[in-house]
Amino acid sequence: MNRKDLKRRGPVTAHTPLDFGGANVFAVQAGVPFSEAMDAMALLLSTADETAFVAAKTGDDGDVAGAVWAVEHLLQFARGLNGAMQSGWIEFQRQAAADGGEA
C-alpha cells in the first residue's frame, strides 16, 4: 500500500503479540482501522467490568477465581489493543510527516 492510500485510509493498528505467561497465543492483527479497534476495546473493557462486578457480587463462591482470571485476560487484551493502536498512530504520523504534511 502506498503512502497516499495509507493517509486516505487513516491510522490502523500495528501487529502486537499478547504474552500470557510466555505463550504468545493471541495477537492484535495489523491493519485494523481505529474505529473498529476502539469498538473492540470498549467491548473488552465492558466485559471485564461486568465480570469484575459478578465476581464481587458472588463473594466466596468457587467461581470467583475463574472470574478474576477472566478479568485479568480481558484487561491484557485491552492493553495489547491499546499498544497496537498507539504504534499504528505513531506510524501514521511518521508516514504523514514523510509526505510533508500532518496527520
Residue 52 domain-assigned (yes or no): yes
Domain that holds residue 53: 15-21+33-98
Q: Would residue 56 count as lying in a domain?
A: yes
Q: Is residue 3 part of a domain?
A: no
**Mean pLDDT, the chain, integer:** 81
pLDDT exceeds 60 at position 6:
no
Is residue 34 within a helix (H) or strand (E), and if so which, with residue range? helix 34-58
Q: What is the pLDDT of residue 59?
A: 67
Q: What is the pLDDT of residues 48-89, one digit of tens each?
A: 888 888 877 776 666 677 788 888 888 888 989 998 999 988
Residue 55 domain-assigned (yes or no): yes
Asked whether residue 103 is assigned to any structural domain, the reply reads no
Residue 86: Cβ-neighbour burial (10 angstroms; 0-12, 13-18, 19+): middle
